Amino acid sequence: MDAISTVSWDSAVQTLPGIGPARAALLLQLGIGTVRDLLFHFPRAYEDRRTPAPIGTLAPGGARTVHGEVVMRRCIHLRGGKSMAAITVRDGTGEVAATWFGRGFLARQFPPGTRVVLTGAVGVYKGLALRNPEYEILAGGADDRLNTGRVVPIYRLAEKLTQRMLRRWISDALDACANLPGDPLPALLRERLGFAALPDALRAAHFPREIAEGERARDRFAYEELLGLQLGVLQARTRREAERKGYAHVAGGPLLAALRASLPFALTAAQRRAIGDILADMASARPMVRLLEGDVGCGKTAVALHAIAAACDGGFQTAFMAPTEILAEQHALTLRALLSPLGIAVELLAAGAPGAAAARARLARGEALVVAGTHALIQERTAFRRLGLAIIDEQHRFGVIQRGMLAAKGSIPDILHMTATPIPRTLALTACGGMDISVIDELPPGRLPVKTSRVPPAKLPGLYEYIRAQAARGFQTYYVCPLIEESEKIDLSAVTRRFEELRAGPLAGLRAALIHGRMRAEEKDAVMRGFTAGALDVLFGTTVIEVGIDAPRATTMVIEDAARFGLTQLHQLRGRVGRSREQSWCFLLGKSGTPEGRRRLEVLCATTDGFRIAEEDLALRGPGEIRGCRQAGLSDLRIADLPRDARLLAEARRDAAEILAADARLEAPSHARLAEAARAHAAILA
C-alpha cells in the first residue's frame, strides 16, 4: 500500500505496481497514459455477481452467472476446419457445460481445478450448456474480491489486457490517489444536481454497490464533460462577438429589391425566415457565422442569393465555395441567371474552368463582385479586393481549416455555411459550436415526396420497363452502384460491367452514360452537362453524383446494393430526384445484409424527413460517424454519449449559461477547473 501511496493524478500508469513498459503500451491503445486516464476509463457495463446461480437450478433461458470449478475440458474439431471448446463446471449443486463454437483454442485456458465465473445464456447442448459465455478465471487470493461477490465493472479492453488486470489497476489507482485535485463541479451545483463529490463518484463509477449507483456516477462525469464543452462553446462565441467587429451590410438596398422582384417563384415561409435571419446578421456589425440547414431540394441557393445581393448593395464581394467542379459550375449558372440581369457579373473559379487567370485578376481588382468556385477559391493566388461574404455549400465536405482559409481571404467577412445533412437537434447545440442556425423545414410547394420501394430480383424486369417508360416521356434516371471500399478497381469494373450489361440488354436503345471517380474532371463535367441538358436518359455512376446536382427532369433513382450505403448517404442520393411536379421514385436493390442494413432500408422507405433520418442515423452509428460532426469536437467526448445523454446536454447548456452570466471569464476560484475544461474545448471548436 505504502509503495503506491505517492502516485499522483498525472503520473504515468507505469508508476502503478504491475504495469511495466509492455502493459503501458497496451493501455496506450485504449488512450490511457496517465493515472487520470485510467481512472476515467469507465466501465462499458456492470455485472451483478453478488448472487451466482446455483448450477443445479439452471434452466434454459436468459443470461445467468455461475461460479464453479472446471472438472473437464476438451477441444473438439468440427467439420470444415472449425473447432469448439467445451468445459464442464461444477459447484456444490451440480454440473453444467460451457461451449465456445469456433474457438477451440480456449480449452487450453481451463485445466481441471480452475475456478471460473461464467456469464451467458443457458441453452441445450447434450444437456444444459452456457453458450459462448463471458468467462473469467479466478486466481484465488485477495484479487477475487474485486471480481466476484459484487457488482463488477466490465471494461473496454485491448488485446492481451483482461478485465482482472484493469480492475486491479484501477482499484490500486483509486486507493493511491487519495489526494485528488479539486472537484471541477462547484459544491453548490453538485448538490443541486444530486451528484457525488469527485472521489466518491470515481469510486462509485468503477466499484458501485448497486448498478444504479455506478450509472449515476457515470452521469456525473458525462454532465461534467458536457458542461465543459458548453462553457467552451458559449465563451468562444462571446469572445468572437466582442473582439471582432465585422461589416455592417446594407439590408434594404436596390439590388436586393431587384432580386426579390425578379425571382421566378414565391419563396416558402421557411426560406423567408432564413433570409430574415441572415439579413439581420449581415446588417449588424457582429460577424455572422450562421449555418443554413435544409433538406436536399429545399432551395438553399435562393436564400444564398439574397445574402449575395445584400453584400453587392454595399459593394462587397461574395465567394461561394462548393465541393466539386460540377456543383460550382451549376451554382455559377444559377447565380448568373438571376444576378446578370441586375448588372452583377458572376465569375467561375475551378481547376477545369477556362479563363481562371482573368477571373482572378477581376476579383483582385474588385471588378467582379461574385465568384462561385471550388477549392480554387482558397488557393494562394486567389485574392479579393473586398470580400464581405463567404458562403460554403455542403459545408461538411470541407475541413475546419479549409473553411477558415476562405474566411481569411477577407478581413472579417460574414460567413454562411450551408448543409443538406440535417444535424439532429440533439447535436446541433454542441456540434455546431457557436454557430447560429437557420432551418428550412419546408419544401417548395407542389413537390411530391419521393416514393421509395425495395425491388426484389423477380421484379427487375418491371423496373427496367419503368425506366424505359419514363425515358419515353422525357424523364431521366440515375443508376447508382455502390462503392466497394477495398478496391477502387473492383468497384470500377463492377459498375462498368453493370453499365455494359444493361445497355446491351434490358435498357438497350436508351441514351446512357457512365460517370465515376476515376474520370478526369473535364470528362465528368461533360457527362453531367449532357445529363442536365437532357441529352441522356440514364446516368450510371458511383456516388460521385451524390452532391448537390439539380436536374429537375430526373425522376428515378435506382440504388444497387443499397444496404451498403449509410442512411444519410442514401437520403442524399434520393434527394437528387423529386425536384419537379412529377412523381419521383427511389428503388432500392439488393439484400439487406446485416440487421442494421435492414433497419436503414426500412427507415428510408418509411420517411423522407431528413431530420428523422439523421436521428436514426445517429442512433445506428453514433455521433462520431455523423458527417460534419467529426471535426466539431463531438467525437472528442469521451464519456458522454449522444443522443443518450441529450437530457444532460440540455441541463449542461442551461447551467453553462447561468455560470457565465455570473462569472463570464470563469475567474472565481471555484470555477478554476471548469475554466480549464472550457479552454480545452474552445481550442477544438475555434
User: What CA–CA distances, in Å, run from 630 to 366, 384, 485, 520, 529?
Assistant: 36, 30, 20, 29, 33
By the rule CB under 6 A, 420 interacts with ligand ADP: yes
β-bridge partners, 68: 116
Tell me which stretch binds ligand ADP (CB under 6 A): 114-122, 266-274, 408-416, 620-628: 266-274
By the rule CB under 5 A, 294 interacts with Mg ion: no
β-bridge partners, 539: 478, 513
User: What CA–CA distances, in Å, run from 455 to 291, 560, 590, 592?
Assistant: 37, 10, 8, 11
Binding residue for ligand ADP, selected from 296, 450, 536, 666, defined by CB under 6 A: 296
By the rule CB under 5 A, 297 interacts with Mg ion: no
CA 607, 610, 614 angle in degrees (round to 5)? 105
Binding residue for ligand ADP, selected from 300, 375, 409, 627, defined by CB under 6 A: 300
Strands (E), 21-114: 45-48, 61-77, 83-91, 94-101
Residue 199 interface partner, choices ligand ADP, Mg ion, none, CB cut-off 5-8 Å depending on type: none
Residue 417 C-beta-side C-alpha neighbours within 13 Å: 26
- CB burial of 602-626 (b: ≥16 within 10 Å; e: otherwise) equals ebbeeebbbbebbbbbbebeebeeb
Question: Which residue sits closest to ligand ADP, CB atoms considered?
Answer: 299
Binding residue for ligand ADP, selected from 163, 268, 426, 568, defined by CB under 6 A: 268
Residue number, 190 or 397, with CB nearest to Mg ion: 397
By the rule CB under 6 A, 163 interacts with ligand ADP: no
Q: Which residues contact 469 (CB under 8 A, 6 or more apart)?
A: none
Residue number, 548 or 597, with CB nearest to Mg ion: 548
Residue 550 interface partner, choices Mg ion, ligand ADP, none, CB cut-off 5-8 Å depending on type: ligand ADP
User: What CA–CA distances, in Å, run from 251 to 265, 384, 422, 423?
Assistant: 21, 22, 28, 29
Going by C-alpha positions, the residue among 165, 167, 217 that lies closest to residue 193 is 217
State the minimum distance, in angstroms, from the CB of residue 519 to Mg ion. Answer: 22
Tell me which stretch binds Mg ion (CB under 5 A): 143-151, 200-208, 369-377, 546-554: 546-554
By the rule CB under 5 A, 323 interacts with Mg ion: no
Residue 579 interface partner, choices ligand ADP, Mg ion, none, CB cut-off 5-8 Å depending on type: ligand ADP
User: What CA–CA distances, in Å, run from 621 to 42, 377, 431, 617, 644?
Assistant: 21, 34, 16, 6, 13
- CB burial of 250-263 (b: ≥16 within 10 Å; e: otherwise) equals bbebebbebbeeee
By the rule CB under 5 A, 548 interacts with Mg ion: yes
Residue number, 375 or 564, with CB nearest to Mg ion: 375
State the minimum distance, in angstroms, from the CB of residue 436 to ligand ADP. Answer: 18
By the rule CB under 6 A, 302 interacts with ligand ADP: yes
* Of residues 158-177, those binding Mg ion (CB under 5 A): none
In angstroms, the CA 124 to CA 398 distance is: 54
State the minimum distance, in angstroms, from the CB of residue 351 to ligand ADP. Answer: 22
Strands (E), 78-227: 83-91, 94-101, 115-124, 128-131, 134-138, 151-154
By the rule CB under 6 A, 337 interacts with ligand ADP: no
* Of residues 425-444, those binding ligand ADP (CB under 6 A): 444
Tell me which stretch binds ligand ADP (CB under 6 A): 5-13, 61-69, 193-201, 548-556: 548-556
β-bridge partners, 292: 418, 438
In angstroms, the CA 253 to CA 285 distance is: 17
In angstroms, the CA 680 to CA 598 distance is: 40
By the rule CB under 6 A, 265 interacts with ligand ADP: yes
By the rule CB under 5 A, 578 interacts with Mg ion: no
Tell me which stretch binds Mg ion (CB under 5 A): 86-94, 164-172, 547-555, 602-610: 547-555
Peptide bond into 669 cis (omega under 30): no
State the minimum distance, in angstroms, from the CB of residue 295 to ligand ADP. Answer: 7
Residue 298 interface partner, choices ligand ADP, Mg ion, none, CB cut-off 5-8 Å depending on type: ligand ADP
The residues binding Mg ion (CB under 5 A) are 548
The residues binding ligand ADP (CB under 6 A) are 265, 267-268, 271, 294, 296-302, 420, 444, 548, 550, 552, 579
